[in-house]
Amino acid sequence: MPSLGRLHLITDTRPGRDPLAVLRAVLPVAHTELVVQVRVEDTATDRQAYELTRQVLALCAPYQVPCLVNDRLHVALATDAAGGHVGADDLPVAAARKVLGPAAVLGATAREPASALAAVTAGASYLGVGPCRVTATKDGLPPPIGVTGVRAVVEAVDVPVIAIGGVTAADVPELRATGAYGVAVVGALSGATDPVRAAAELVRALTC
């Protein structure tokens, strides 16, 4: 299984966003800690998800940055991505592990200790835990769990916990103090005026 970076960049494919431009900007300054999660809008076709994943993989390959595919595990398999990530409404973790095989990276979403433990038992390599704060990057999210919620999950499992949901570099010290391994971001990079500077600040906060 590829080593897991502390900064997960989730592609932002909402109208007006350019996920590949953001990735090109961020890779040179963040590649040592980067994991890229390809996430597309629910209305995107499998072909669109496949093509975006292929482009992301091509950009990441020179930097040896692992790429995961959210939700659409068949796209992860078809593109030879490093693995995938499943949310609460996607395939159960055990089924996802069966699809991807034992060597792939498999992330799962959790927000409290019981579901986190169940996901790890079923084969999750790491957990995406949140949302930490209110965020507009995805519809239908449950209320934020805050730092206290992240800490509760960290204390319950023995796999890396990646905090997600409205996270910025300013939040990283407090999240790291909970024992969280890293953070996943969307708007903190895709909406940044200077994504290079934003990525550098995130990496600095995660590694200091």
Q: Are 7 and 185 in contact (CB under 8 A)?
A: yes
Tell whether 158 is in a known binding site. no
Residue 43 marked ligand-binding: no
Residue 40 in marked binding region: yes
Q: What is the DSSP letter of 190?
A: H
- Residue 39, annotated as binding a ligand: yes
Is residue 71 part of an annotated ligand binding site? yes
Is residue 41 a known part of a binding site? yes
98 assigned binding-site residue: no
- 32 annotated as ligand-binding: no
The residues, any chain, with a CB within 8 Å of residue 40's CB and separated by 6 or more, are 11, 13, 48, 49, 52, 70, 72
Residue 38 labeled ligand binder: yes
Instruction: Tell me which residue of 56, 53, 98, 94 sits closest to 72, measured CA to CA.
Output: 53
- DSSP code string of 83-135: EEEE-TTSS-HHHHHHHH-TTSEEEEEESSHHHHHHHHHHT-SEEEE--SS--
Q: Is 166 annotated as a binding residue?
A: yes
d(CA 203, CA 180): 14
Binding-site entries: 37-41, 70-71, 90, 109, 135-138, 166
Binding-site entries for Mg(2+): 71, 90
